[in-house]
């Protein structure tokens, strides 16, 4: 079959579109398999997912299959369930059938691994190792925890494949992995935090497998010799490091060079909008709604022909040679629930636009300034925890630490459910695997910028930690939300340090709008780690793994307090009802 680039209808049916097809333009039967999987997700979960991004789909799918496994015991759908939900008056091409496209192997019982039940897997001795290594709460380094978890999954997979004598069967290998993942997820349905951590690790499972295969294809003889040496000396750990090294080198040329606009024929891996489509989206209903200013352009609200609301950034002409290429390079390859999603771009007639998901609740600064509706303690803790989670993803990216360089209140957007998403990657910079720092032009926002970076132009991951610390102090205190100059920043950090050392009372720092409805122990826990974040020297700052661990502990405490309060209120109601009933 000839490979061809096809961009028609990718936009309108984006949530159903195979990510590989969107990225490469190569159309195969596998594209339909992906789309059919999304339809299955809707059927299984009963959830309307018109506005759910790729990460959301994966989470919903895993949860849906896990729920089914608990309720019915089987990990895959029976053939009659498929026929019940997939029949209809539609026409197929005569040359294409469900079996030819590979769906025949996804029925319950259609293969040996798909015949496994939840009980078969959970009661197997090898599953205990998977459950233990994928459920510790990721208190250690995120990379190490993920490595242990995915390694245990692969070991359990190989155990079942040996039982079935199916090591060389690719379908069985894939099916067994899915069965094990669903089984692990059934143990996490009541622990959203643990589920999020587990799901965040799964891309590493696929990346390591795929990278290893690609490497062997490129240079089999050399790989064979290297693997023999590695196995004899350093074991599986070095194999994983070798694969990461090869993967990084394969992407090195794309990573280190910032392409100029004229070098972009289209938007690589994204939908390429025409200028007419952009203008129609911005001027929907004869109304042009301005949302705000970014570091490199102005942002408008837009509506696509499908009805999906988006945010469209028009890049300033003076910044097109730098910010556009940075943002396109960075956001086109990262995906995380707490990072704003880039849908596509437009390069036409000297104009450049970026099209993002729309966050309807505005930015964090707007909410801290509101008087009519105040962010409560639970919401603030959740926002800080999720922002730390997004930073952990960036700083532990497989190719090296991605430094955002412009973390501030206005760059933290909020969805309708107040889920935070980091935005504006126009200044982001990647540090390679071997680089702990780079010397670069000093950019960012005064008040949030790392003092060390400002003085010596040395950019490190710790620069983001400082900015996050300033944001956290603003969220905790509700102070210095606007006009955060250097004097205001220093005043805020001094006050925080005094409170943390008990030289000043807690009330001097907590937001008066919270009216004392704050867990003082958790407040102090956050304050202690945040004070370390804003240390003047980068050497005194914690890593993002340490920051997230502390934020996650506080978030779990907050959820526990909320549950206890609800149970106490329910008990009080029941008691009042029982007192009101008099014996006859």
Confidence (pLDDT) at 349: 84
Confidence (pLDDT) at 288: 83
Average pLDDT for 92-110: 57
Per-residue model confidence as pLDDT tens digits over 523-546: 999 999 999 999 999 999 999 999
> Which comes out higher in pLDDT, residue 494 or 269?
494
Strands 429-430 and 402-403: antiparallel
Average pLDDT for 75-101: 55
DSSP state letters, 466-522? HHHHHHHHHHHH--S-S---HHHHHHHHHHHHHHHTTSS-GGGTS-GGGTT-S-HHH
Residue 458 has pLDDT above 90, yes or no: no
406 included as an active-site residue: yes
Confidence (pLDDT) at 199: 72
Per-residue model confidence as pLDDT tens digits over 17-32: 666 655 555 566 666 7
Read off the pLDDT band of 61 (50, 70, 90): low
Confidence (pLDDT) at 375: 94
Residue 338 has pLDDT above 90, yes or no: yes
Distance of CA 269 to the CA centre of its chain: 18
Report CA-CA distances (Å) from 176 to 97, 133, 166, 237: 24, 18, 10, 23
Residue 164 has pLDDT above 70, yes or no: yes
Residue 222 has pLDDT above 50, yes or no: no
Strands 342-348 and 271-272: parallel
Closest residue by Cα to residue 405 from 472, 352, 458: 458
- In this structure, are residues 27 and 6 in contact, taking their beta carbons and an 8 Å threshold? yes
Residue 411 has pLDDT above 90, yes or no: yes
Average pLDDT for 468-480: 94
Confidence (pLDDT) at 93: 41
Of 95-109, 118-132, 348-362, which range is least confident?
A: 95-109
Confidence (pLDDT) at 360: 92
Average pLDDT for 388-404: 90
CB atoms within 10 A of CB 437: 18
CB atoms within 10 A of CB 314: 18
At 14, is the secondary structure helix, strand, or coil? helix
Average pLDDT for 304-321: 80
Residues present in the chain in total: 584
Beta bridge partners of 458: 439
- CA distance from start to end of the chain: 84
d(CA 582, CA 580): 6
Give percent above pLDDT 70 in the chain: 64
Read off the pLDDT band of 329 (50, 70, 90): confident
Report CA-CA distances (Å) from 220 to 217, 250, 298: 6, 16, 50
Confidence (pLDDT) at 268: 56
- In this structure, are residues 153 and 177 in contact, taking their beta carbons and an 8 Å threshold? yes
- In this structure, are residues 493 and 534 in contact, taking their beta carbons and an 8 Å threshold? yes
d(CA 391, CA 397): 10
Answer positive or negative: Cα dihedral of 115, 117, 122, 124.
Answer: negative
Residue 113 has pLDDT above 90, yes or no: no
Residue 309 has pLDDT above 90, yes or no: yes
Residue 364 has pLDDT above 80, yes or no: yes
Of 3-7, 170-174, 194-198, 441-445, which range is least confident?
A: 3-7
Of 39-48, 335-344, 471-480, which range is least confident?
A: 39-48
- Determine what percent of the chain falls in helix, strand and coil, rounding each to the nearest 5: 55, 10, 35
Read off the pLDDT band of 211 (50, 70, 90): very low
Average pLDDT for 374-386: 96
Residue 330 has pLDDT above 80, yes or no: no
Residue 365 has pLDDT above 90, yes or no: yes
Cα-flanking dihedrals φ and ψ of residue 363, to 5°?
-110, 170
Confidence (pLDDT) at 441: 64
Average pLDDT for 344-361: 90
Confidence (pLDDT) at 57: 53
d(CA 220, CA 227): 10
pLDDT winner (highest mean) among 192-196, 401-405, 473-477, 569-573: 473-477
Determine which one of 32, 406, 424, 552 is catalytic.
406
Residue 323 has pLDDT above 50, yes or no: yes
Read off the pLDDT band of 236 (50, 70, 90): very low
Which domains occur in the chain, in start order? 262-324+337-357 (3.30.200.20), 364-561 (1.10.510.10)
Mean of the per-residue pLDDT values for the chain? 75
Cα-flanking dihedrals φ and ψ of residue 273, to 5°?
-80, 150
Residue 248 has pLDDT above 80, yes or no: no
> Which comes out higher in pLDDT, residue 381 or 456?
381
Confidence (pLDDT) at 534: 96
Answer positive or negative: Cα dihedral of 551, 552, 558, 562.
Answer: positive
Answer positive or negative: Cα dihedral of 559, 564, 568, 570.
Answer: positive
């Amino acid at each position: 079959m000839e490979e061809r680039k096809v961009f028609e209808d990718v936009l309108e049916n984006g949530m159903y579109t195979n990510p590989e097809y969107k990225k490469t333009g190569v159309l195969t039967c596998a594209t339909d398999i992906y789309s059919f999987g999304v339809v299955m997700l809707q059927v299984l979960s009963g959830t309307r997912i018109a506005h759910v991004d790729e990460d959301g789909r994966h989470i919903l799918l895993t949860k849906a299959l896990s729920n089914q496994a608990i309720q019915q015991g089987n990990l895959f759908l029976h053939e009659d369930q498929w026929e019940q939900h997939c029949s209809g008056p539609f026409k197929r091409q005569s040359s294409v059938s469900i079996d030819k496209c590979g769906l025949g192997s996804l029925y319950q019982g259609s293969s040996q691994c798909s015949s496994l039940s939840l009980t078969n897997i959970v009661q197997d001795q090898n599953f205990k190792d998977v459950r233990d290594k994928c459920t510790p709460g990721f208190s250690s380094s995120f990379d190490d925890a993920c490595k242990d978890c995915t390694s245990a999954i692969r070991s359990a997979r190989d155990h079942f494949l040996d039982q079935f004598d199916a090591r060389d069967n690719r379908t069985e290998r894939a099916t067994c992995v899915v069965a094990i993942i669903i089984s692990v997820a059934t143990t996490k349905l009541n622990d959203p935090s643990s589920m999020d951590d587990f799901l965040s690790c799964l891309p590493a499972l696929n990346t390591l497998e795929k990278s290893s295969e690609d490497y062997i294809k490129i240079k089999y003889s050399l790989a064979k010799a290297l693997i023999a040496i590695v196995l004899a000396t350093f074991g599986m750990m070095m194999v994983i490091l070798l694969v990461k090294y090869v993967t990084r080198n394969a992407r090195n040329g794309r990573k280190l060079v910032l392409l100029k606009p004229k070098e972009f024929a289209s938007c690589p891996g994204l939908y390429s909008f025409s200028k007419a489509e952009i203008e129609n989206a911005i001027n929907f209903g004869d109304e042009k709604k301005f949302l705000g200013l970014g570091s490199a352009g102005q942002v408008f609200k837009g509506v696509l022909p499908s009805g999906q609301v988006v945010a469209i950034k028009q890049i300033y002409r003076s910044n097109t040679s730098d910010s556009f290429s940075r943002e396109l390079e960075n956001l086109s390859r990262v995906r995380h629930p707490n990072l704003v999603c880039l849908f596509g771009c437009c390069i036409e007639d000297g104009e450049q636009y970026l099209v993002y998901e729309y966050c309807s609740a505005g930015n964090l600064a707007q909410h801290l300034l509101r008087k009519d509706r105040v962010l409560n303690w639970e919401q603030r803790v959740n926002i800080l925890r999720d922002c730390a989670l997004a930073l952990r993803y960036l700083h532990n990216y497989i190719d090296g630490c991605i430094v955002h360089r412009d973390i501030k209140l206005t760059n933290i957007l909020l969805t309708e459910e107040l889920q935070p998403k980091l935005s504006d990657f126009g200044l982001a910079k990647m540090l390679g695997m071997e680089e702990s720092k780079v010397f670069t032009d000093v950019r960012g926002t005064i008040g949030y910028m790392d003092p060390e970076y400002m003085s010596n132009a040395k950019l490190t991951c710790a620069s983001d930690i400082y900015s996050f610390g300033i944001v956290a102090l603003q969220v905790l205190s509700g102070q210095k939300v606007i006009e955060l100059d250097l004097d205001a920043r220093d005043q805020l950090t001094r006050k925080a340090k005094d409170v943390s050392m008990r030289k000043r009372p807690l009330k001097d720092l907590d937001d008066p709008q919270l009216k004392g409805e704050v867990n003082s122990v958790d407040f102090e826990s956050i304050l202690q780690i945040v004070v370390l974040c804003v240390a003047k020297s980068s050497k005194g700052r914690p890593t993002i793994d340490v920051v997230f661990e502390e934020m996650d502990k506080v978030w779990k405490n907050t959820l526990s307090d909320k549950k206890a309060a609800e149970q106490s209120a329910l008990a009080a109601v029941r008691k009042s009802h029982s007192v009101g009933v008099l014996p006859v």
